[in-house]
Amino acid sequence: MRGPHNIWRLIRTGATLERAGAMNIVLDAFEAGPALRFVARALGLPFKWLGYRGDPAMPPATRALTALGPAYIKFGQILSTRPDVVGDELAIQLRVLQDKLPPFSVEEAKAEVARELAQPVEEIFSSFSAPVAAASIAQVHRATMAETGEDVAVKVLRPRIEKAFRKDIDAFYLAARMVEVFSPGSRRLRPTEVIEHFDGVVRGELDLRLESAAASEFAANTKKDEGFQLPQIKWNLSARRVMTLGWADGAPMGNNAAIDAAGHDRVELSNRVLQLFLNHALRDGYFHADMHQGNLKVAPNGDIIAYDFGIMGHIDEYTRRVYAEILYGFIRRDYNRVAKVHFEAGYVPADKDVDEFARALRAVGEPIFGMDATRISMARLLTYLFEVTERFGMETRTELILLQRTMVVVEGVARSLNPHINIWEVASPIVTAYISKSIGPRAVISDLASTAMVLSRFGPRLPALVENALLRQGNAVPEERRPFKRWMLLSGVTGGALGAAIVIGVQALG
């Protein structure tokens, strides 16, 4: 929020939104009050002639953001994952935002690679193609490694992209502050927190070492998944601004004709892509959060290949259990249990009526289960579910919103392969298997083992921790209580040993 350039950038932004016809759409999405609307119009309408024209063939919001440049395109993509902030209608528009920009030259890309890897490109690669894909932050080239002859994909950040993003994000922070000042009603959408989230995502994407690490972790989690593969990261040829990974050969997931020509079973593929996503989300708590057709291919052997790991989702073990219980409850049409799970998790305030909430959930579930099996949509169910929980005072949980958005995308991929897929029938074995492992006696033993592991590590330190706590409170351990101290030490060591024994026993039983 430094410097007058931010005011100028906001004027240019408002002018472009006005010229593209997107101003009202954006203001309505953020539920802007009269004061904010007046300020926005004052920044945009008189300067409409200064706005970028954009592509008239695009929807207004998409047209404006695309014209404003890379930071705005990426911001639109992030907002597409937050229908809780911008509403469903605008989120759908932003979801189809074209992340394609004119590529930068091969010479610039080679210069970046040579600078990052500290070697001439000709020594590393025997061939280095023109860009095969150009996006808001980076572009991709196909190359051949000189040493091994292996084909690889080389992702290179746009020159000076960090500075461009930093400038625009500064302006975004100023805009968020203005929204909070001039539209108090919009504060519940937490505009500054939204920008902070966007800032964090972009910082991660502007360091390709982090994307490489995400790909590596994802690969480690999924290495035993049948029918699924990821391109291998070439760590020795990756750095902050360059990422090299194996080339993914196969039919694009969005090209049914190519998939059929290769002899693949689209019904089986549709089932597999959905089950893989649920396994990654529930089993691992770490999932590809951008699994659209453009990031998926079908290998010649029929494996599904995923790539582009810039946006990954993470949910902790407790949240996974809650999510699985909610899905499982809907599968069994046990709405009272689904309601109780929401209350037990603290998602819905305790002063609300659990029976009334269960009836609201029944109103969500029964119409869906009354449909023909091929029309049942898990994504639609989750959308309705969030609408109901919002009415009952559930606070926004970003990780669940991202999970829901990805579920919508994955379901769309599955239906594009097989329009007659029964989503619940395909999902049920994965959700049921997870429930059986994570909820029940076996899960209790596993939780006790985890607790015992902590005790085994901290047991010997318990006496010192207790004594330090007492000292901080001005209650030093007197001389006459030294036996107590020795007892604490003994119990700490014993607790640690007991914890270790429990862990070993559980592992042996497992």
Q: Which amino acid is at 451?
A: T
Around 134, how many Cα atoms within 13 Å sit in the side-chain half-sphere?
Answer: 14
Q: Is 38 left (phi over 0), alpha (psi -120 to 50) or beta?
A: alpha
Instruction: Name the catalytic one among 84, 168, 225, 290.
Output: 290
Alpha helices per DSSP H over 60-160: 60-68, 70-79, 83-95, 106-117, 121-124
List the one residue out of 118, 343, 409 whose CA is nearest residue 242. Answer: 118
Angle between helix axes 317-332 and 378-391 (nearest 10 degrees) is 110
Q: How many CB atoms lie within 10 A of CB 509?
A: 9
Q: What is the chain's percent helix, strand, coil content, to nearest 5?
A: 65, 10, 25
Show Cβ contacts of residue 224 under 8 Å, excluding neighbours closer than 6 positions.
none
Show Cβ contacts of residue 461 under 8 Å, excluding neighbours closer than 6 positions.
492
Does residue 290 have an active-site annotation? Answer: yes
Pairing of the two strands 228-229 and 251-252: unpaired
Angle between helix axes 266-279 and 398-417 (nearest 10 degrees) is 170
Phi, psi dihedrals of residue 4, rounded to the nearest 5°: -70, -15
What span, in angstroms and rounded, lies between the C-alpha atoms of 21 and 251?
38
Backbone CA torsion sign across 313, 315, 321, 325: negative
The catalytic site residues sit at 290
